[in-house]
Amino acid sequence: MSLHLEHLNPEQLAAVTLPDEHALILAGAGSGKTRVLTTRIAWLIKGGRVSPAGILAVTFTNKAAREMLTRLTAMLPVNPRGMWMGTFHGLANRMLRAHHREARLPQSFQILDSQDQLAALKRLMKASGVDEDRFPPREVQWFINAQKEEGLRPGEVPLTDENVRRFVELYAAYDEQCQREGVVDFPELLLRSFELLSRNEILREHYAQRFSHILVDEFQDTNRLQYRWLKLFSSRHTSYFCVGDDDQSIYTFRGANVGNMADFERDFKVKHVVRLEQNYRSHGNILDAANALIANNRNRLGKNLWTAAGAGEPLRVFEGESDNDEARWLVEEVQALARDGTPLSHIAVLYRSNAQSRVVEHALFSQGIPYRVYGGLRFFERAEVKHALAYLRLLAFPDDDNAFLRVANFPPRGIGARTIEQLQDAAKQAGASLMKVADGSKALVFKKLIEELKSETANLPLPEVVEHVVARSGLIEHYKTEREGADRIQNLEELVNAAAAFTQEERETESGEAVDPLTAFLTHAALEAGEHQAGEGQEALQMMTVHSAKGLEFDAVFLTGLEEGLFPHEQSVNERDGLEEERRLAYVAITRARRRLYLSHAQTRMLHGQTRYNVASRFLEEIPNGLMKWLTPRFSRQRLVPDFSRSKDAFMMKRKEEGIGFRIGQNVTHPKFGTGVIVDAEGSGTEARVQVNFGAAGVKWLALAVAKLQAA
């Protein structure tokens, strides 16, 4: 089978055919990085440089891993499924399953998703008498996960103050609880795998010798622990091929460390840095705008996107008097695009904050334009599905207390809060699980149900196990009584379909590791819970945050709310690398557009119940004016707002020595506070003063007689 090397551009070909040395591939937006990654793997295998078993390929989503496997299967004469390919968490789980004894875990350990982890923490804190007002469970959860992602166990966390000391104590107690119950959360998967390889030199050497080629996708999104985990596989025979784009690093809030790219180049003395700069998505004006914007970031590895597709249309810029005005304009433009033949699903509205969507949604609804807010609850996160999975988890691992607590009284069977408290007290005293001490009359009924389900499904295929449990648990009958239970029942039926599809996929991708099918399916469900499941339905406009838009592309993109304090976000100015990450976020938004890009902002916006007076985003000023077509006159505030100095009861806002008049709503600059907008005023003559919103610098009252204020 052909690898189609002739279809690669010179830079792509250079990357694919690099020698067996460490390489960093700077892959710009729309530059074909997935093609390069898959063709590189195929080239290595087909050329006899490595067998599939010698490859470790790390992606950030299971969807990306499946796409790469599909492409490789079409390119290779051999089955590529022997390689280790998947997400960090998926690969760590695979390793821990294979070496569960060395990792001090039961073979059938269960994975806690974010909600289960929070429930486990709440249970622990309640049992320990912790004041949840002082130590909110979500903050404790965030603290624990942050420490794990830094590779720190409780005894390694610096005790900077009394609050941190208490958080560390809860972290230690939570670790003990998880170990006792044989469960792991998502950050624990990678940390436990890292610790396993770190302390077991024989095992580490085994994998270092096995994997001669390690390929990493979306390298800019790796956190510190993920990078340290990758480094453990290093040997003199190992070649790393890391693909990423530092200009698209937008997940610091998730722990991503863009500095890993520069660290990799230094740590491994990388000789080959290949820049993929030819873009196959967007027209030239869009790329030129993105390049000009991101050039304002100082800490870049550097690249410049270009296209052979021509300049295309200019960027259209709109300034509304209000957010309602912005939304009305947006709807009119969407209707015009639809009339010209652009499908609604090829149009996206992007915003920095979810709070911005309401006004746009209202305008779309009013005009009867169908829209879909990208995101929402994923399949495996829906309540009814999680209930069914909890029953299945109890079949595979009866000591799973989180699963017990979720469904012991769901559907209701008379097990109240008092009964649960008594069970928890008994379990704590006995050092046992809730299931082991569930011998009371009501709890015993539930315990016997689980035992019967386990016995009845012992020899059934996985799909029939799921179908039987869903039916016998009482969930179907329960939801039949609900007003909107039909959708929930359909989701439960779809869970059976998911089990059947999983069984078929496992049959085709047999890894050779002996894992019980139910345990494997539960692991699959936990790993898939964080991924978006594309919804089906009518043609609809796409609405989403810029973060959610990463990896997507559309014919037309509306980037709304380009105002100081909103985008860039007001908190970013005071954070290390905050403004640069906001600029990277804007860069990601711009490069989602294929043919047409709209940029908009509003003079006033309702946020959190208050009218906010806005200054246009600095990002608009960083895009060359020659690339933009202004749909409203620039700096139109001076034209749109009333001139109060001409009304009989107004004040004169005037610097006598310069003869400059100021008006509410006008843009101004100050040598200390920067650019702002006048939002209020009082007094007259030498007593006149104005209130100015300087965005990140705050709202200030300034006396005109002494303030060094200039019209913007």
Q: Which residues are catalytic?
A: 33-34, 217-218, 248, 592
Using CA atoms, how far apart are residues 60 and 257, in angstroms rounded to an integer? 14
For residues 529, 532, 534, 537, the Cα torsion angle rounded to the nearest 10 degrees is 90
Contact (Cβ atoms closer than 8 angstroms) between residue 520 and residue 560: no
Number of H helices, E strands in the chain: 26, 23
Q: What are phi and psi of 206, to 5 degrees?
A: -60, -50
DSSP string for 607-625: ETTEEEE--B-HHHHTS-G
Is the Cα torsion angle 253, 256, 258, 263 positive or negative in sign? positive
**Residue in the structure block whose two tokens are 């049992």:** 127
In terms of C-beta density within 10 A (0-12 exposed, 13-18 middle, 19 or more buried), how is residue 587 classed?
A: buried
Residue type, 299: N
DSSP states along 451-499: HHHHHHTTTS-HHHHHHHHHHHTTHHHHHHTSTTHHHHHHHHHHHHHHH
Pick the closest to residue 495 from 461, 467, 514, 471 (CA basis): 467
Q: Which residues are CB-neighbours of 37 under 8 A, at least 6 positions away? A: 57, 68, 215, 217, 241, 243
597: which strand partners? 557
DSSP-assigned letters across all residues of 288-304: HHHHHHHTT-SS-----
Per-residue tokens: 43 = 């080239």
